[in-house]
């Protein structure tokens, strides 16, 4: 085929550019999609040839009359569309909490932000295998409020070329523009999930044109991206569109992942009120909100007076995409049967502690004195399990007891770590552990990991450990980029993790590639009885060394959140603080004051009897 030449003069040094080391590039051959032809960029990466397509439209721009509605397929185009520039991010705010700090700003959009944002990226390695390549579809995280497929850290080039898979990343609406919900078809809710679904439809219809197999698709994502994938496992609309799933640090039962439509409507009314759009009828309210400038939504989205783990606009149980509450779906066995790979990072909670201010600071060790412990714990769990419900004091006391470092309760650093573990377990680790448990109980293939490597380039405070999201750079191969000064052992870890992820995408087993005998690898199945998992860290420095294997990660702590806390909440739900105080005082009266009174009364009786006996003596 004809090659379309393109000479690019490079001024950027970002690792997201596929032209870091050379200045001459080519366009790819035109690729036919169901809506029209596209061309991308052809480049050389680490000795491999890679075709990259940036910003392929998979939906009509969700603007004007399409705001708050489910996405529609795009109109066809007649010319060859150049998909060679990173697409705009969906509307969102920049993180300015830590100005000029790379650890925070790396997650900020590196392109323009626009409401017209429904595009996807595709990375295609050019190898001798030109057909039926395995396809990995990335769904980004960001609290359903932030995120973009154009971020440097989500560049799929190394993952694609190192292991010969096609990588696709789907952009979806976030915040209120993605998850505003009303009570009519004009604002059905879950637009962000339907964006993802339409992106998966695009893969089914078109990926074979790029050399991929629509019958070998693996979803992978982190945080709210992983929660989204968990919801795709539950949705009857999604199940036929992928074969496997990888969930990093979340699951569909995460306490922040879904809310009821009623709660979403209340939040939507609060948002409409900020725009002076609240009207008698919902139709009039929506008509007004559709005239609001796109830029005003992100800055007004945070309608909740709550901490950083209470996300305002999230998926709802709509009866269409989600038929029922995720917990009920698992109870009823109503979920997709397929292999899953999933896991958590060692310190999932630390990132969110520093955003909630208080005693936690990224720049110092943040010791928590014993007398501060319950106060700081309440700050993190003020609304429980979801805004606007305030935490029950019985539950707060139980959490405090569960995570007190009883080996040395006076140690302020162990107290700090206890709060970090409580936040991380409740929000991320245990929803992931519980999903693994459900799938293992159903007899399905489950592979679980604990990511336990703190990058040598991590700019956050040392005390924050192996943080939420830290594995992403290693999954996408950033350590292989010579613009970063990673250690050799970290490059090996990244290669090993990419191999695990792509093997799983190809065969359903992270240990084996196509054609190899299964069941003989280092990563054991996560059984219901044993709960086996591997530890991903730099002990892989020796190519012949096997990873550490553990069992029953966080089982006791997760049983606390799954079983004990809901029971405690139910049994104390109608008990007011006054009643609680009275019961406590009654208990003290019964066990302390009454005992003392009884002793004094017994002493009085004995003394009286002694005197009476003395008086009656002859």
Separation CA 461–CA 362 (nearest Å): 5
- d(C-alpha 138, C-alpha 117), whole Å: 16
Any bridge partners for residue 220, and if so which?
A: 138, 246
For residue 218, give the nearest of 203, 198, 235 by alpha carbon.
203
* Average pLDDT, integer, range 450-460: 98
CA pair distance 333, 324, nearest whole angstrom:
12
Catalytic choice (348, 420, 438, 532):
348
- Token readout for 447 is 């592979």
Q: What phi, psi does 454 have (nearest 5°)?
A: -95, 120
Find the catalytic residue in 468, 471, 490, 532: 468
The pLDDT, as a whole number, for residue 15 is: 46
Alpha carbon separation from 90 to 58, 59, 106, 264, 298 (Å, rounded): 14, 13, 16, 20, 10
CB 340 within 8 A of CB 437: no
**If you average pLDDT over every residue of the chain, what do you get?**
91
For 224-278, how does the pLDDT look when each residue is reduced to its tens digit (9 = 90+)? 999 999 999 999 999 999 999 999 999 999 999 999 999 999 999 999 999 999 9
| pLDDT tens-place string over residues 526-545 | 999 999 999 999 986 556 67
Q: Which of 134, 148, 176, 223 is catalytic?
A: 223
Say which DSSP state 259 is in: B
Judged against a pLDDT cut of 70, whether residue 585 lies above it is answered with no
- State yes or no: pLDDT of 78 exceeds 80: yes
Cα(174)–Cα(177) distance, integer angstroms: 6
Model confidence at 387, in pLDDT bands (50, 70, 90)? confident
CA separation for the pair 196, 540 (Å, rounded)? 35
Higher pLDDT, 533 or 388: 533
Cβ atoms of residues 394 and 417 within 8 Å: no
Is the Cα torsion angle 229, 248, 430, 443 positive or negative in sign?
positive
Average pLDDT over residues 56-82: 98
Question: Per-residue pLDDT tens for 154-206?
Answer: 999 999 999 999 999 999 999 999 999 999 999 999 999 999 999 999 999 99
- All structural domains of the chain, each given as residue ranges with its CATH number in brackets, are 1-338 (3.40.50.1820)
Beta bridge partners of 573: none
Which parts of 333-402 fold into alpha helices (H)?
350-355, 370-380, 393-402
Task: Flag the least confident range among 281-285, 375-379, 393-397, 519-523.
Answer: 519-523
Q: Does residue 348 have an active-site annotation?
A: yes
468 is catalytic: yes
Q: How many CB atoms lie within 10 A of CB 587?
A: 10
pLDDT of residue 303: 79
Quickly state the pLDDT bin for 600 (edges 50, 70, 90): low
Percent of the chain with pLDDT over 90: 81
Six token digits for residue 301 = 């989205």
Q: What is the per-residue pLDDT for 425?
A: 99
CA dihedral (366, 225, 565, 433) positive or negative: negative
């Amino acid at each position: 085929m004809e090659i379309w030449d393109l000479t690019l003069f490079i001024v950027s040094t970002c690792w997201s550019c596929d032209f870091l080391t050379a200045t001459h590039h080519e366009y790819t051959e035109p690729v036919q999609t169901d809506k029209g032809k596209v061309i991308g960029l052809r480049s050389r990466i680490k000795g491999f040839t890679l075709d990259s397509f940036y910003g392929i439209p998979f939906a009509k721009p969700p603007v004007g009359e399409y705001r708050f509605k489910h996405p529609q397929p795009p109109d066809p185009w007649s010319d060859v569309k150049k998909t060679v520039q990173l697409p705009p991010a969906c509307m969102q705010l920049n993180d300015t909490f830590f100005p000029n700090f790379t650890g925070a700003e790396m997650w900020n959009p590196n392109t323009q932000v626009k409401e017209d944002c429904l595009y996807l990226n595709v990375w295609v390695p050019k190898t001798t295998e030109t057909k039926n390549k395995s396809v990995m579809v990335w769904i980004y995280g960001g609290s359903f409020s932030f995120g973009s497929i154009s971020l440097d850290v989500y560049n799929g080039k190394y993952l694609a070329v190192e292991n010969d898979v096609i990588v696709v990343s789907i952009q979806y609406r976030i915040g209120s523009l993605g998850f505003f919900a009303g009570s009519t078809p004009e604002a059905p809710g879950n637009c962000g999930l339907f964006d993802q679904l339409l992106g998966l439809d695009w893969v089914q219809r078109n990926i074979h044109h790029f050399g991929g197999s629509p019958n070998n698709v693996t979803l992978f994502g982190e945080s709210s991206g992983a929660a989204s994938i968990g919801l795709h496992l539950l949705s009857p609309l999604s199940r036929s569109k992928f074969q496997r799933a990888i969930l990093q640090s979340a699951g569909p039962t995460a306490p922040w992942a879904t809310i009821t439509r009623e709660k979403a409507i209340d939040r939507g009314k609060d948002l409409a009120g900020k725009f002076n759009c609240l009207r008698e009828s919902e139709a009039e309210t929506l008509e007004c909100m559709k005239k609001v400038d796109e830029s005003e939504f992100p800055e007004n989205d945070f309608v909740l007076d709550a901490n950083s783990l209470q996300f305002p606009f999230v998926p709802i149980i709509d009866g269409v995409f989600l038929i029922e509450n995720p917990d009920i779906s698992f109870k009823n066995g109503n979920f997709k049967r397929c292999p899953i790979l999933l896991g958590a990072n060692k310190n999932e909670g630390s990132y969110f502690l520093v955003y909630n201010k208080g005693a936690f600071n990224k720049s110092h060790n943040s010791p928590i004195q014993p007398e501060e412990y319950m106060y700081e714990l309440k700050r993190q769990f003020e609304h429980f399990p979801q805004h606007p419900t305030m935490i029950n004091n019985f539950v707060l006391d139980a959490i405090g007891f569960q995570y007190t470092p009883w080996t040395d309760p006076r140690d302020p650093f162990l107290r700090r770590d206890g709060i970090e573990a409580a936040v991380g377990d409740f929000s991320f680790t245990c929803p992931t552990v519980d999903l693994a448990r459900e799938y293992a109980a159903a007899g399905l293939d489950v592979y679980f990991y604990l990511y336990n490597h703190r990058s040598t380039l991590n700019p956050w405070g040392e005390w924050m450990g192996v943080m939420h999201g830290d594995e992403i750079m290693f999954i996408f191969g950033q350590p292989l980029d010579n613009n970063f000064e990673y250690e050799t052992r970290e490059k090996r870890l990244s290669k090993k993790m990419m191999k695990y992820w792509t093997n799983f995408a190809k065969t359903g087993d992270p240990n084996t590639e196509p054609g190899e005998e299964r069941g003989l690898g280092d990563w054991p199945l996560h059984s219901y009885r044993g709960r086996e998992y591997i530890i991903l860290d730099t002990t892989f420095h020796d190519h012949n060394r096997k990873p550490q294997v553990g069992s029953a990660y966080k089982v006791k702590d997760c049983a606390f959140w799954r079983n004990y806390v809901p029971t405690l909440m139910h049994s104390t739900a109608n008990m007011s603080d006054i009643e609680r105080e009275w019961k406590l005082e009654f208990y003290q009266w019964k066990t302390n004051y009454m005992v003392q009174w009884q002793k004094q009364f017994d002493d009085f009786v004995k003394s009286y009897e002694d005197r009476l006996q003395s008086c009656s003596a002859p």
